[in-house]
Amino acid sequence: MTVNEMQERIRKLKAGKGICVLAHSYQGREITEVADYSGDSYQLSVMAAKTNAKTVIMCGVRFMAETVKILSPDKTVYLANPTAGCPMAEQMDKELIEGVKNQFPDYAVVCYINTTAELKTVCDVCVTSSCAVKVCSRIPNKNILFIPDCNLGKFVADQLPEKNFKLLQGGCPVHAAITLRDVEAAKKAHPNALLLVHPECVPAVAAAADYVGSTSGIMEYARKSDAREFIIGTENSIAEHLQYDYPNKRFYTLSKNLICENMKATTLPDLLACLEGVGGEEITLDPDTLKKARRCIDEMIRLSE
C-alpha cells in the first residue's frame, strides 16, 4: 500500500466512523495531512473537546492523550502508538512533588502542560509555553515552584523579576542538548536567517535568538515575518512543515539532532491500525484523577483570560 493509498483509507475510515484524529505539530507530514486538527498539545485537546466526535485518536505522546481525556472525559480517547511517551513528562512524579511541597508550603506549584495526569493532581495551576508568563504574573503567590522544565522556568522567571521562582532540574532532553556552538554554526551557514527557538532550549541559546516562543508561536512568527530565511530551533519537523506551507521562504534546522524519537514513534500504519481497531491504546483515567487534574487546567484558563 502506498502512502497515498493509506492516507485515503484513513480518511474513509475516520469519516465513516465519525472519529476525530489529532496530530501534534511534531508528527510527520504524512500524518498531519490526514488529521482533523494539527497544532500544540493543549490546543489540540481544546479542539477535541469542541468536536462532536465521540472517539478521538491522538497522534502524539501519552501526556497529550491524557490531556484530551481530562478535557473530554465522556469521549473515548486513543493513543495511536502506546510506546510514545515524553521523557520530560516522566521525569517527576506525584510523590516527589508532594515531598517538595512539604518543604516549601508557601510556594504555588506551576506545572507545564508536559506532565502526567497524575502529577497534575497535586499542582495548583497548569501552563503552556505560550501562556506561562501571563499565568505566572497573575498568580497571587510571590513564590512559585515551576516544574518540570527549568529552561522554560528560567525564561518565565527572567520576565517576572517581582516573583521568586524555584526550579528543579528537569526539561526536554532534545531541546536542552542544543548548544551555543550549534547556534554559531547555523548562523555561519545562514548569516541572513533569523533564529527562532523554543523556550525549552537552554538560556544561552534563547538569549541568542531573534524570537523565543512556543511551537505555534514560531510558526506564526515565520508566517507573518517579512524575512525570507529562518533557522528553526525546535523539533526538525517544524522546519519541514514550514517549508511546505511557505515555499517562497527558506527554513533551516538549528541542528540535525533536534529530533524527538517519541514523536517519531507514531507512523501512518499505526494510525491506520488504530482506526481499524487492531492498534493503539485506549486512555483511561479514574474519576478522582480526572477531577483533580482538571482543576489545575481550569485555573490556567481562568488566569489566562
Amino acid sitting at position 3:
V
**Is 184 buried (19+), middle (13-18) or exposed (0-12) by CB count in 10 A?**
exposed
Residue 87 has pLDDT above 90, yes or no: yes
Question: Average pLDDT in the 41-67 region?
Answer: 96
Residue 305 has pLDDT above 90, yes or no: no
Handedness of CA 88, 206, 168, 143 (dihedral sign): negative
Read off the C-alpha cell for 277. 481497531
What's 138-178 look like in SS3?
A: HCCCCEEEEECCHHHHHHHHHHCCCCEEEECCCCCHHHHCC
**If you compute the radius of gyration of the chain from its CA atoms, what whole number of angstroms results?**
19
Kindly report, residue by residue over 244-277, the tens digit of the pLDDT: 999 999 999 999 999 999 999 999 999 999 999 9
Question: Average pLDDT in the 117-144 region?
Answer: 96
DSSP string, 36-69: SEEE-HHHHHHHHHHS--SEEEEES-HHHHHHHH
pLDDT at 254: 98
Kindly report, residue by residue over 10-48, the tens digit of the pLDDT: 999 999 999 999 999 999 999 999 999 999 999 999 999
CB 108 within 8 A of CB 139: yes
Integer Cα distance of 109 and 148 in angstroms:
10
Helix or strand or coil: residue 196? Answer: strand
pLDDT at 6: 97
Model confidence at 221, in pLDDT bands (50, 70, 90)?
very high
Integer Cα distance of 180 and 254 in angstroms:
10
Helix or strand or coil: residue 92? Answer: coil
CB 124 within 8 A of CB 289: no
Question: Average pLDDT in the 160-182 region?
Answer: 96
Read off the C-alpha cell for 186. 547555523
Share of the chain above pLDDT 70, in %: 100
pLDDT at 159: 95
For the chain, report the end-to-end CA distance as a whole number of angstroms. Answer: 47
| Mean pLDDT, the chain, whole residue set | 97
Residue 227 has pLDDT above 90, yes or no: yes
CB 197 within 8 A of CB 233: yes
Model confidence at 208, in pLDDT bands (50, 70, 90)?
very high
Maximum alpha-carbon separation in the chain: 58
pTM reported for the whole predicted model:
0.94
pLDDT at 119: 97
Model confidence at 162, in pLDDT bands (50, 70, 90)?
very high
Kindly report, residue by residue over 91-122, the tens digit of the pLDDT: 999 999 999 999 999 999 999 999 999 999 99
Integer Cα distance of 267 and 199 in angstroms:
27
